[in-house]
Amino acid sequence: MARRKKIYEGKAKILYEGPEPGTIVQYFKDDATAFNAEKKDVIDGKGVLNNRLSEFFMTGLAQIGVPTHFIRRLNMREQLVRNCEIIPLEVIVRNYAAGSMSKRLGIAEGTQLPRPIVEYCYKDDALGDPLVTEEHIAAFGWASQQDMDDILSLALRVNDFMSGVMLAVGIRLVDFKIEIGRVFEGDFQRLIVADEISPDSCRLWDIETGQKLDKDVFRRDLGSLTDAYSEVARRLGVLPKSNVTKPTLIN
């Protein structure tokens, strides 16, 4: 079989050229990184869990009419997605103060915000993904005003969907990060949710106990990341019970 062409390798995923024009194969690695890759490890099974969880969230979003890059899952670690031009912004939605917002503004972690707050960071590892304003985004041409209106609406719809799905299984969606891609359909362009949605890019706290079930477990050395992600998958019914504690490592 011919070797696939690798298009890009990031910290947690590899992108390969897809089988049809306009498609990409997204491979989920087991690598975990934090603090701009200063902290690194390989977490057995993380890629399998994130592949399944991202499929679950993206499929649910499509069902409520939120466009995403997801086409179909191919195997335990890979999914077929639409090729899109990624807007160089991390779009962060916060429902409770935590992480960098708590540090920046001196608000205790876990404080409920008066309403969801959307922030934008410029995607640049060398700069540590700095927070930017809509002024920067417009002035540097990263996105138009129409794009920004669409991005805000997508971000808030994803927030409502994810908050509801998580609340139903006893988990608080504290915050999350999404990336947005541009696709061209004839003369028109459309914005879609791209990259991934998984516990790598969300803060998820158990409502009863406050236990962290997301990448902060790795960032802050709070225990087993696989156990935390498996718990999210188990509550959502994403993995069959036999696979929950020991996700298969094939592929």
Binding site for ligand 5GP (CB under 6 A): 90, 92, 98-101, 129, 175-177, 200-203, 215
- Residue number, 92 or 243, with CB nearest to ligand 5GP: 92
Give me the least distance between CB of 52 and ligand 5GP, in Å please: 17
Give me the least distance between CB of 158 and ligand 5GP, in Å please: 12
Give me the least distance between CB of 215 and ligand 5GP, in Å please: 5
CA pair distance 106, 108, nearest whole angstrom: 6
Nearest residue to ligand 5GP, using CB?
A: 99
CA pair distance 123, 132, nearest whole angstrom: 10
Q: Is 214 helix (H, G, I), strand (E, B) or coil?
A: coil
CA pair distance 144, 164, nearest whole angstrom: 30
- Residue number, 73 or 94, with CB nearest to ligand 5GP: 94
Pairing state of beta strands 171-185 and 89-96? antiparallel
Check the CA dihedral 157-159-160-164 and report its sign: positive
DSSP assignment letter at 127: G
- Residue number, 22 or 117, with CB nearest to ligand 5GP: 117
Give me the least distance between CB of 186 and ligand 5GP, in Å please: 33
* Helix (H) / strand (E) containing 193: strand 188-194
- Residue number, 174 or 192, with CB nearest to ligand 5GP: 174
